[in-house]
Amino acid sequence: MPAMHELSIASTILDRAKAASEGNGGARVTKIGLRIGEISGVETDALTFGIEALSKDTPLQGVLLEIEFCKRKQRCTACAAEFEPEGFQAICPTCHGDQSECIAGKELDVMYFELEDPACA
């Protein structure tokens, strides 16, 4: 098992891509769309490395990644204002309240796969 958790996540993503290919007549997957939140615990560089390393010498070698990065967003408990904390300073800029809940930033989603049109057989 890989020691870096991005590697196990990369492996899961590649499994999904393989399944998408198989579900579409073996069409080659050329691009994977991902959404990664600021506090998902995943480093995009490490994930990209993991995808490259694990796809080497497989039909997925060279697959492109399109990563949509999601900033952490908080909603103030007192005044319901939504804000992006500056450098993890989670103080509401509207009412200066220090209680808020996280409403975005934990994403770790596969959004789409782009496949080559199936070869005419």
Q: Which residues bind another protein (CB under 8 A)?
A: 1-5, 8-9, 12-13, 16, 20, 24, 27, 34, 39-42, 72, 87-91, 98-100, 102, 106, 108-117
The rounded distance, in Å, linking the Cα atoms of 49 and 44 is 8
Minimal distance in Å, beta carbon 114 to another protein? 5
Minimal distance in Å, beta carbon 13 to another protein? 6
Give the 3-state secondary structure of residue 57.
coil
Minimal distance in Å, beta carbon 93 to another protein? 13
Sign of the alpha-carbon torsion through 22, 59, 52, 3 = positive
User: Pairing between strand 29-37 and 64-70?
Assistant: parallel
Residue number with CB closer to another protein (63 or 115)? 115
